[in-house]
Amino acid sequence: MKTFLIVQYICISALCCAAPAWGRQAGVQQEGPAPEEWTLDDCIGYALEHNTDIATGELEVESGKISLNTARMSRLPDVSASLGSNVYFGRSPSRDASYIDNSQISGSLGISANIPVYQGLKIKHEIDKAKIDFEAATRNLELARKNISLNIASLFLQVMYDKELVSIAQSQLELSSSQLELSKGQFESGRVSHSEVVRNESLVASDRASLVQNENTYSLALLDLRQAMNLPDSIAITPVMEEQELPRIEDIPTLSQIYGLSVSMHPSIRYAEASLQSSIFALKSAKSAWQPTVYLSAGYGNSVYSNLTDRSVNTNFWTQLQGNGNEYIGLSISIPIFSRNTVRNNVRLSRLSVTRQEILLNEARKSLRKEIEQAYFGAMAAYSSLNSAQKALEAALLNFENEKASLDSGRSDIYDYANAKVEVEKAQATLAHSKYDFILRVKILNFYMI
């Protein structure tokens, strides 16, 4: 009974969370400072700061902000200034607009402003479209953050699962090593034959090989996590799970509640909705090209002349500036009549874009529902597997203890003992897989609800 409690304690300890000290020994040994303990939140936070997709998404958001500012500024007047000078040889224009035979130099300056008064609400539609495009870029960035967080969570839990398998393999090796020492003592006392010792040595070698294989698998899983995080080799980490209880199945909302919350909040849906609204405003902007455009213009101009043939007729520079100035204000209307079907085709293309975005929105909703259903039913199945795995482990432990007692009393051989030991190891691995699978499924559902 005492041995049974020891075995049970080892198995339960392995299933909770591998000891942080183990992380400094498992896998490839790294030189330099001791590995730091990183939780799931630490890994996600680092990945979000150093991921190239996130950096690209942030640039898209900044680009959308600039485009929105450009659209808003299009309502302001367009102001420009001009300054020029000409030298005429032979016939040249005079101050009364006639041409005379002389050479002269002239200069001019002016400033003008052009204000859009009416463009068929095109500017308004472009501003609305820029707002929606900015929102779409923001939602797309949120979606990228969620996808990266979910990917890191999956890789992190895979690392913890492989790390737990290493811990299980270690406990199995310790158990078989202990049995080997016991068989050696029994051989020396004449209770068992030398073949029994050899069989135990074979079992120890098998467990040691299994430990090495699990260590390599853990190292590869850790490498996948580091690469997904863009973590440099100079930083050594040991992933650890925070102290927490397994999620309660009673705390998981119903499928309809999860979907109802996700369909109004999930970035993929909001991005698709924003893209649809953007295409609608683009259609309105294309239609506005059929409307007349009205511009209000105003300006000021001045000019000076200097006769190079007869300088006696030249007027003082400042006197010319005072007398040659002119101001103007005007209103222009442009009415589209025929544009070679350019406007008509642009409107048709915009309508097709709206239809395409409507289809993409419906597909996004269907895809979201499918993902939620898969995660929800996967969580239910994982919880059921977790309960079954716990019962299977209890049965395997009980059978193992019976076989060990039979072996110690000589009523059984090492083969039955080894088979019972393998069944315990399989049950431990299955329980670990079910546990982390259930945690991952619940985390996926949480990602859809926030």
pLDDT at 9: 33
Side-chain half-sphere of 141: how many Cα atoms within 13 Å? 20
Q: What are phi and psi of 412, to 5 degrees?
A: -140, 170
Residue whose token pair is 């002389």: 102
pLDDT at 30: 41
Cβ atoms within 10 Å, residue 378: 17
β-sheet bridge partners, residue 331: 296
Distance from C-alpha of 293 to C-alpha of 310, rounded to nearest angstrom: 49
Determine the 3-state secondary structure of 237 from DSSP: strand
Domain positions in the chain are: 32-73+120-162+223-291+340-449, 76-118+292-335
**Are the C-beta atoms of 256 and 93 separated by less than 8 Å?**
no
The total number of residues shown for the chain amounts to: 450
Six-digit token string for 165: 């398998």
pLDDT at 14: 37
| Fold (topology level) of 32-73+120-162+223-291+340-449 | Outer membrane efflux proteins (OEP) (1.20.1600)
Sorted by sequence, the CB contacts under 8 Å of residue 133 that are 6+ apart come out as: 64, 67, 68, 274, 278
Q: Which segments in the chain show pLDDT lower than 70? A: 1-35, 90-97, 100-102, 192, 243-245, 410, 412-415
Distance from C-alpha of 200 to C-alpha of 181, rounded to nearest angstrom: 9
Q: Cα 370 to chain center, whole Å?
A: 20
pLDDT at 18: 36
pLDDT at 347: 95
pLDDT at 26: 35
pLDDT at 187: 77
Q: Where are the alpha helices (DSSP H) in 74-121?
A: none
Which CATH superfamily, name and number, covers 76-118+292-335? Outer membrane efflux proteins (OEP) (2.20.200.10)
Six-digit token string for 179: 């049995």
pLDDT at 244: 62
